[in-house]
Amino acid sequence: MKIGVLTEVDIRELWKHEQYDFSNWLVEAENIAYLNDILGLTLVEVNKEAYVGSYRCDIVAVDETDGTKVIIENQLESSNHDHLGKIITYASGLDAKVIVWIVKQAREEHRSAIEWLNNNTRGGIDFFLIELHAYKIGDSDPAPKFEVIEQPNDFIKSSKYVTLSDSLNKSQTERLTFWTQFNDEIIAHGKPFNVRKASTDHWYDVAIGNSTCHIGITLVNSDSFIGVELNIGDDKALFDSLFSAREVIENESGLEFEWQRLDNKKTSRILHKIPGLDFDNHKNYPQLMDEVIKKVVIMRAIFKKHIK
C-alpha cells in the first residue's frame, strides 16, 4: 500500500487578500456550512462588510434558530492586538453575541485573552478563536481546515452565573448531561442536523431553512416527556395554513400533534410528545435520543414541504 505524505500549504498561496479572496470564499454556502459544523450554529443572512464607525467588520450573519447576531473577523496572519481590539469594537457596535476570530496563527497572549473573555463575560456572549490551515497529499487539491484554539466553555459560564451560589442545581446539571450525550448521538447518527453547544437550557433548537420557525426539542422532566415541536414566530397565518392541512401532515409524518395556536402569545407551536424522560434514571436515554433524532428528521422534512 502506498501512503501519501500530508503537507501544509501556506494559506496566503490560496487567498492573497483577506477581504476580496478569503471573505468571498467563506460566504459561499458550502464553506459557511463547514464553519457551521465547527461553531454549532446555522448561519443565515451572511453579509460582508458591516461598518462600525470608520471600521469595517469582515462578515456579519445571523443564527437562524434564535436570531443571534454573529460577527466573523478574518486575519490571514498571526493574531495581533489591533484585531483583538477590533473584534471587541465590532461586537459592541453591532450588538453581536457570537464573535469569531479566524487567524493564520494564534499567539499565546491572544489565546489567553479569548479564554479569559469566555470565562469572565456573562452568559450569552461567546468568543471563538480559530486557526485556518490548509493541507494536501502529493499533487492533490489543497484542503482547508479550521482548527479551534479557544471556544466558549458553557459549563464554566453556567456554574458562575446561573445561580448565586455559583453552582448548578439538579435540573441544570441533568439538562447539561442530557444535551452533551445527545450531541454524541447526533454525531453517531451521521449528523442529520447541526450539533449545537450543550447548555443548561431546557430546549435545543434545529433550523429548518425558514427564519419564521424552527424545530424545538424540549425537556419536560416534571411531566416525564420530551417535546419535539415546530415553533412558529409571530405568524398566526402560517399556523392556520398548516392547521388546515393537519390531517395530511399527520398522515404523512405518522405522528400525532398538539396544535397550539396560543392566541394570547405571539408564538404558536405544533407539539409531539415522547414519553419516558426521567432525570433520575438514564437507562433509556439512548432509546429516547434515537427516537428524538428520527422524529426531528421526519418533522423537518414534512414541515419544510408544507411551509410556503
What's the rounded mean pLDDT across residues 280-307? 95
> Would you report the helix, strand and coil content of the chain in percent, each value rounded to 5?
40, 30, 30
The pLDDT of residue 156 is 42
Beta strands in 164-267 (DSSP E): 203-207, 213-220, 225-232, 258-260
70 grid coordinates: 454573529
CB atoms within 10 A of CB 41: 27
The pLDDT of residue 155 is 43
Write the DSSP assignment of 92-105 as a string of letters.
Answer: HHHT-SEEEEEEEE
Lowest mean pLDDT among 26-35, 115-124, 126-135, 208-217: 115-124
- Residue 158 above 80 pLDDT? no
Q: What is the pLDDT of residues 177-233, one digit of tens each?
A: 999 999 999 999 998 998 888 888 899 999 888 878 999 999 999 999 999 999 998
Q: How far apart are CA 281 and CA 267, in angstroms?
A: 33
Four-point Cα dihedral 43, 44, 49, 55, nearest 10: -50
The pLDDT of residue 161 is 40
Which DSSP state fits 223? G
The pLDDT of residue 100 is 96
Size (the chain), residues: 308
Domains, the chain, ordered by start:
6-152 (3.40.1350.10), 160-306 (3.30.1460)
What's the rounded mean pLDDT across residues 283-290? 97
Which DSSP state fits 162? S
Rg (CA), the chain: 21
What's the rounded mean pLDDT across residues 165-187? 85
Mean pLDDT of the residues in the chain: 89
Q: How far apart are CA 145 and CA 257, in angstroms?
A: 42
What order do you get walking across the sheet with 268-275 strand by strand? 203-207, 213-220, 225-232, 268-275, 258-260
Q: Name the burial class of residue 157, with classes exposed (0-12), middle (13-18) and buried (19+) by CB atoms within 10 angstroms of its CB.
A: buried
Write the single-letter amino acid at 239: F
Whether the pTM exceeds 0.95: the reply is: no
The pLDDT of residue 200 is 86
